[in-house]
Amino acid sequence: MSIKRKIRFGIIGCGLMGREFAVASARWPALLETKAQPDIVAICDVNPQLFDWYTGNFDSIKIVTPNYQDLLAAKEVEAIYCAVPHNLHEKLYCDIIRAGKHLLGEKPFGIDLAANQRILAVSKLHPNVFVRCSSEYPFYPGGHQVHRFILDNPWGRIIEVNSGYLHSSDLNFSKPVNWKRMVDINGEYGCLGDLGMHALHLPLRSRWIPKRLSASLSKVVTQRPDGKGGMAPCETWDNATLQCEVNHPIEGYAFPMTIKTYRIAPGETDTWYIEVLGTKFSARYTTKFTKTLQTMRYEDGGPQVWMNEDLGYTSAYKTITGGIFEFGFTDAILQMWAAFIDEFNEPRDDMPFRCITPEETLLQHKILTAALESGKTGKTVALV
Ligand SMILES: NC(=O)c1ccc[n+]([C@@H]2O[C@H](COP(=O)([O-])OP(=O)(O)OC[C@H]3O[C@@H](n4cnc5c(N)ncnc54)[C@H](O)[C@@H]3O)[C@@H](O)[C@H]2O)c1
């Protein structure tokens, strides 16, 4: 077996997502074809209580610090996964890139459009630093298959596209407030900034960019327990529906696309979906029924029959896992990391699926900013 190149990583932000990356790196032997692998050598968080789990599980960690500048100064660190709240994206991402460390940053990649543009300006000044943004859902087998369909373009004329990302835990009014409900930390986007990148990932990759949109934004829960016996205001949007008009990037005709980002969608626990309806071919996939891809092929006058196919474990990057088994969230994270490491190590034209580029994060911000304006004014907003 050939020796894999080790890429020495630091993690900044050791919370929910930091741990997911650490575990993905420990599952690397599951991947059969990658020529490089991440090695976690440094961790940083302002909350030291998180460190024991990492150091107890990863002997490779040599630097443990509350100060992220220590990771930027460390020669041992080549690349960084940064998973911190949105108000810190601009400062930390810019500092990471200026320090010459490759970056997988978390979405939305800047708290707002202006912050995103400043991150991209720094990235442009450092073309040798590899920068990508995290979003793992299109790596589910059904998401990946829908992307292959998009490349083949079997739709006939696209009738409409629906893409969304739904949560429901906020239906519980007694759930305590957290930073995602605070404008100064999460950003004015609210659920749009939090969930929008996932819902927009495949549309952006397909160049289905809205030329104009109208948005309906709602705040369902206005206050939550503050964890100290009182109540705190919920400042950010809970739910957003974007009604977009898109021009087909090659064929030019217009079609409607809806993007939904809901924190309060009763019964939906982490549901990501994509649906493309066409005159000749339609496809839909939802993580609610993880195994199943639905497709319908149609010829004039013929029957209109949706087919259900259980895809099994058909991933972008081959693994040891048998094709008869199921795929889940942690598999999608592993696949996304395989894509990041693969493109970083050996960029080429025929990669199975790339992580989000900085330019795609900018398009996302333009869409979300237009949605905020539309939500506030009640008007349809053109994308600039
Ligand atoms: N890709 C996904 O599916 C997904 C899922 C959830 C969250 N996210 C994104 O990941 C990012 C982090 O979210 P999370 O849910 O992991 O949050 P979290 O609150 O669980 O973790 C964030 C961590 O950052 C730490 N931190 C804050 N300031 C810091 C600083 N100055 N230096 C170092 N560490 C600092 C906090 O102490 C905390 O441990 C956000 O951008 C969020 O949108 C992505």
- For the stretch 70-88, pLDDT in tens is 999 999 999 999 999 999 9
- Which ligand 1 atom sits nearest the alpha carbon of residue 197? 1
Percent of the chain clearing pLDDT 90 (strictly above): 99
User: Which of the four pLDDT bands, split at 50, 70 and 90, describes residue 292?
Assistant: very high
Is the pLDDT at 1 greater than 70, yes or no? Answer: no
Beta bridge partners of 278: 158
Is the pLDDT at 2 greater than 80, yes or no? Answer: no
Distance 82 CA to ligand 1 centre (A): 8
pLDDT at 3: 85
pLDDT at 195: 97
Domains of the chain, each with CATH number or no CATH: 5-133 (3.40.50.720), 140-323+363-382 (3.30.360.10)
Q: 116 in helix, strand or coil?
A: helix
Mean pLDDT of 50-54: 98
Which residue has the least CA distance to atom 2 on ligand 1?
A: 135
Given ligand 1 and candidates 17, 88, 191, 330, which is best to mutate, with the most ligand atoms within 8 Å of its CB?
17
Mean pLDDT of 144-148: 97
- Which ligand 1 atom sits nearest the alpha carbon of residue 105? 41
Of the candidates 176, 170, 172, which has an alpha carbon nearest to the alpha carbon of residue 230?
176
Does the CB atom of residue 170 touch ligand 1 within 6 A?
no
Which residue has the least CA distance to atom 18 on ligand 1?
A: 15
Of the candidates 291, 330, 338, which has an alpha carbon nearest to the alpha carbon of residue 314?
291
Which residues 6+ apart lie within 8 Å of 330 measured at CB? 20, 23, 24, 27
- Which ligand 1 atom sits nearest the alpha carbon of residue 179? 19
Is the pLDDT at 241 greater than 80, yes or no? Answer: yes
DSSP 128: T
Does the CB atom of residue 250 touch ligand 1 within 6 A?
no
Percent of the chain clearing pLDDT 70 (strictly above): 100
- Which ligand 1 atom sits nearest the alpha carbon of residue 17? 16
Q: pLDDT (tens digit, 9 = 90+) per residue, 312-364?
A: 999 999 999 999 999 999 999 999 999 999 999 999 999 999 999 999 999 99
- Which ligand 1 atom sits nearest the alpha carbon of residue 137? 3
Is the pLDDT at 69 greater than 70, yes or no? Answer: yes
pTM of the model: 0.96
pLDDT at 39: 98
Give 161-227 as a DSSP string.
EEEEEE--GGG-TTSPP-GGG-HHHH-TTTHHHHHHHHHHHHHHHTT--EEEEEEEEE----EEE-S
Does the CB atom of residue 204 touch ligand 1 within 6 A?
no
pLDDT at 28: 97
